Amino acid sequence: MAPRFQAPRGTRDLLPEDLGRWQWAEERARGVLERYGYREIRTPLFEDFELFARTSGESSDVVQKEMYRFQDLGERDLALRPEFTAGVMRAYLEHGLGGRTRIHRLWSAGPVFRYGRPQKGRYRQFSQVNCELVGSAAPGADVEMITLFVDLYQAWGFRDLTVVLNSVGQPASRRDYGERLRAWLAPVRERLSADSQQRLVANPLRVLDTKDAGDLALFRERGELPRMLDAIDAADRAHWDAVLAGLDAVGIAYEVDHGLVRGLDYYTRTAFEVHDRALGAQSALGGGGRYDGLIAELGGPPTPGVGFAIGLDRALLVLEERGAAVPAPAAGVYVAAMESTRTAALALARALRRRFPVELDIEERAFGAQMKSAGRSGARLLLIVGEEEWGRGEVVVKDLASHTQETLARAGLEAALAARLAQAPPDPPAAGARGAHRTETP
Ligand code: AMP
């Protein structure tokens, strides 16, 4: 019989066996972020709908079609966050962070929600790692952000990633560019998808987001795309040149993509993304850019910022497809008891759990059954709390990897176990002899 309830469309359960990879990725990311001096900030999963409408742009896909918008019982107009930046900037203003120090480096990670059509690498609830560098308009801030962006992927084992970059200018130069785009597409306007025709009127840059195969063929028919870089002013051009020089200096490979405009309206100047072809249509692994107008848009003092979001689901999907190994969980200790030493074993396990992963039978099963469980548990050490040994203040310790056995005193046991757990296990058995380590019943 099919289960009565299933996870809502576009959402997934991450089972314990999936989470090893997630936790490893999150830990690696946390390490990189800390070394770059970024501090974590946690904001609510939902905010006023208006906050997202204001920052992402009324005509963006996210606001128009993808928002989980709802009214609570107090009739507030709310939405699940479709991205982090708006909430983080709301918090930045609400707590007056800008008045404390000029530059803030902030990161967050967690679920975001978009009502899109689910497919491989595209979910309605997915996870992002998000970073913001608020308070500096210097090209060095963009360079730091892009370097951090690449270093996060490198910490996960990605190699040879190429960042694609563009400048999206300022609102005025974007309007100018929008006109060039309209003129460029005028000869094929009637043949564009209905969506793109609408966008061409409301917000022409958004046409470049199209995934429609017919639209893309028409772009190719038109030849070379007008370049945003030809429309930006001298100050934006100088900024752009300085960012590229900085990336060259740190050795980050990049390509300029004249069609890169990003999905949200608040970007200014630098925009960047990274793609991986293994993902097919949903190839974007992450992206970001500068948003110098965003904080003022929210009613704050004009404050520059630059940030990015990395899609964790997609990054992990790629690593999984490549068969990247997940580090095994730390091997620990299995405590086995006799009928007469169960309470002693229970207390011992509790004490050892202050330092080590410890497994213990909770069903008062026979010794043989405990031995079988120990063999399957993945524990490195088996502690046998035998009646006689325990009476002498000792336990028997078997190393399940090297099959050696010794009797150790309870006093000082923690240090002795730590030393043994830290030893590298012997070489794995040759092919053909693989499988769980066998434990013999004493
Ligand atoms: P964006 O804010 O749209 O640039 O998204 C940043 C990253 O989040 C993208 O590059 C993707 O890796 C990821 N992402 C965006 N939408 C989805 C989705 N529906 N499902 C899974 N990952 C997504």
Is 47 close to ligand 1, i.e. is its CB under 6 Å away?
A: no
Is 114 close to ligand 1, i.e. is its CB under 6 Å away?
A: yes
Is 286 close to ligand 1, i.e. is its CB under 6 Å away?
A: yes
Instruction: State the residue for tokens 């990054």.
Output: 315
What is the atom index within ligand 1 of the atom nearest the CA of 284?
10
Distance 343 CA to ligand 1 centre (A): 52
Q: What is the pLDDT of residue 1?
A: 67
Q: Which helix (H) or strand (E) holds 213?
A: helix 213-222
Q: What is the pLDDT of residue 323?
A: 84
Higher pLDDT, 440 or 391: 391
DSSP alpha helix (H) spans, 262-341: 294-297, 312-321
CB 149 within 8 A of CB 272: yes
Q: What is the pLDDT of residue 160?
A: 76
CB 23 within 8 A of CB 62: no
Distance 371 CA to ligand 1 centre (A): 47
Would you say residue 440 has pLDDT above 70?
Answer: no
Is 123 close to ligand 1, i.e. is its CB under 6 Å away?
A: yes
Q: What is the pLDDT of residue 436?
A: 39
Higher pLDDT, 390 or 58: 390
The pLDDT tens digits of the residues spanning 139-170 come to 999 999 999 999 999 999 998 788 999 999 99
Closest residue to atom 10 of ligand 1, CA basis: 286
Distance 184 CA to ligand 1 centre (A): 29
Is 314 close to ligand 1, i.e. is its CB under 6 Å away?
A: yes
The pLDDT tens digits of the residues spanning 23-78 come to 999 999 999 999 999 999 999 999 999 999 988 877 677 787 899 999 999 999 99
Q: What is the pLDDT of residue 284?
A: 87
Q: What is the mean pLDDT of residues 80-104?
A: 96
Q: What percent of the chain has pLDDT over 70?
A: 95
What is the atom index within ligand 1 of the atom nearest the CA of 315?
12
Distance 303 CA to ligand 1 centre (A): 26
Q: What is the pLDDT of residue 161?
A: 85
Q: How many CA atoms lie within 13 A of 106 on its CB side?
A: 24
Q: What is the pLDDT of residue 418?
A: 95
Closest residue to atom 15 of ligand 1, CA basis: 311
Distance 284 CA to ligand 1 centre (A): 7
CB 141 within 8 A of CB 157: no
What is the atom index within ligand 1 of the atom nearest the CA of 312?
12
Distance 98 CA to ligand 1 centre (A): 28
pLDDT band at 264 (very low <50, low <70, confident <90, very high): low
Q: Which DSSP letter does residue 306 get?
A: E
Instruction: Please give the span between the terminal C-alpha atoms of the chain, in angstroms, as a whole number.
Output: 45
DSSP strands (E only) in 332-380: 333-337, 358-360
Encoding tokens for residue 329?
């969980």
Q: What is the pLDDT of residue 283?
A: 81
What is the atom index within ligand 1 of the atom nearest the CA of 83?
2
Closest residue to atom 18 of ligand 1, CA basis: 122
Read off the pTM. Answer: 0.88
Encoding tokens for residue 363?
């069903």
The helix-helix angle for 342-352 and 413-422 (nearest 10°) equals: 60
Higher pLDDT, 280 or 119: 119
Per-chain mean pLDDT for the chain: 91
Q: How far is CA 58 from CA 49, 201, 210, 240, 407, in A?
A: 11, 14, 17, 28, 71
Closest residue to atom 16 of ligand 1, CA basis: 122
Q: How many CA atoms lie within 13 A of 51 on its CB side?
A: 24
What is the atom index within ligand 1 of the atom nearest the CA of 263?
3
Q: Which DSSP string corresponds to 64-76?
A: HH---EEE-TT--
Is 12 close to ligand 1, i.e. is its CB under 6 Å away?
A: no
Is 54 close to ligand 1, i.e. is its CB under 6 Å away?
A: no
Is 83 close to ligand 1, i.e. is its CB under 6 Å away?
A: yes
Q: Which DSSP string corresponds to 33-101?
A: HHHTT-EE----SEEEHHHHHHHH-TTSHHHHH---EEE-TT--EEEE-SSSHHHHHHHHHHTTGGGT-
What is the atom index within ligand 1 of the atom nearest the CA of 285?
12
Q: What is the pLDDT of residue 105?
A: 98
CB 352 within 8 A of CB 397: no
Backbone dihedral region of 33: left (phi > 0), alpha (psi from -120 to 50 degrees) or beta? alpha
The pLDDT tens digits of the residues spanning 174-205 come to 889 999 999 999 999 999 999 899 989 888 88
Would you say residue 357 has pLDDT above 90?
Answer: yes
Closest residue to atom 4 of ligand 1, CA basis: 287
Is 312 close to ligand 1, i.e. is its CB under 6 Å away?
A: no
Instruction: State the residue for tokens 């920052």.
Output: 55
CB 38 within 8 A of CB 66: no
Choose the most confident range, by mean pLDDT, from 317-321, 347-351, 419-423, 437-441: 347-351
State the Cα–Cα distance between residues 275 and 285, nearest whole angstrom: 5
The pLDDT tens digits of the residues spanning 281-330 come to 778 899 999 999 999 999 999 999 999 999 999 999 999 988 887 777 77
Q: What is the pLDDT of residue 76?
A: 97
Q: What is the mean pLDDT of residues 334-362?
A: 96
Closest residue to atom 3 of ligand 1, CA basis: 263
Higher pLDDT, 259 or 2: 259
Beta strands across the sheet bearing 254-256: 39-40, 104-113, 125-134, 305-311, 284-290, 268-275, 163-167, 254-256
Closest residue to atom 8 of ligand 1, CA basis: 311
Is 46 close to ligand 1, i.e. is its CB under 6 Å away?
A: no
